[in-house]
């Protein structure tokens, strides 16, 4: 299991969200670079793809449909995107040190 942040998703399931791998970052770089938040079709697709790529590192059986329909919703999509893109594992390190859980990201 790759280290990450334990997160309770919309369906109540708690999963360890690891950071995005460099390989996935390379593949998704253009989409991530163009990401502007919000609920446009492109933003939603980017969040789903990035979340799926990260979760596949620990849960290879998870599907895109599960990410879209069970794990993510409008209340947590930006928060999860922030966890996946956590550069250097700063949020994970804060949590391991006993800091409070990350606050939801606001647009």
- pLDDT per 10-residue tile (average), the chain, 107 residues: 92 93 92 87 94 96 97 94 75 61 50
pTM value is 0.80
Q: What is the pLDDT of residue 37?
A: 81
Q: How far is CA 44 from the centre of its chain?
A: 12
CA distance 52 to 24: 10
Q: What is the pLDDT of residue 106?
A: 46
The backbone torsions φ and ψ at residue 6, rounded to the nearest 5 degrees and listed phi first, read -70, 130
CA distance 107 to 105: 7
Q: What is the pLDDT of residue 102?
A: 52
Q: What is the pLDDT of residue 23?
A: 94
């Amino acid at each position: 299991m790759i280290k990450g942040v334990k997160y309770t998703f919309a369906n109540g399931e708690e999963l360890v969200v690891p950071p995005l791998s460099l390989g996935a970052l390379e593949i998704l770089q253009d989409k991530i670079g163009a990401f502007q938040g919000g609920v446009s079709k492109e933003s939603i697709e980017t969040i789903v793809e990035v979340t799926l790529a990260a979760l596949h590192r620990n849960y290879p059986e998870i599907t895109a449909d599960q990410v879209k329909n069970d794990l993510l919703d409008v209340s947590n999509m930006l928060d999860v995107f922030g966890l996946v893109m956590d550069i250097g594992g700063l949020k994970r390190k804060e949590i391991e040190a006993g800091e409070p859980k990350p606050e939801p990201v606001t647009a």
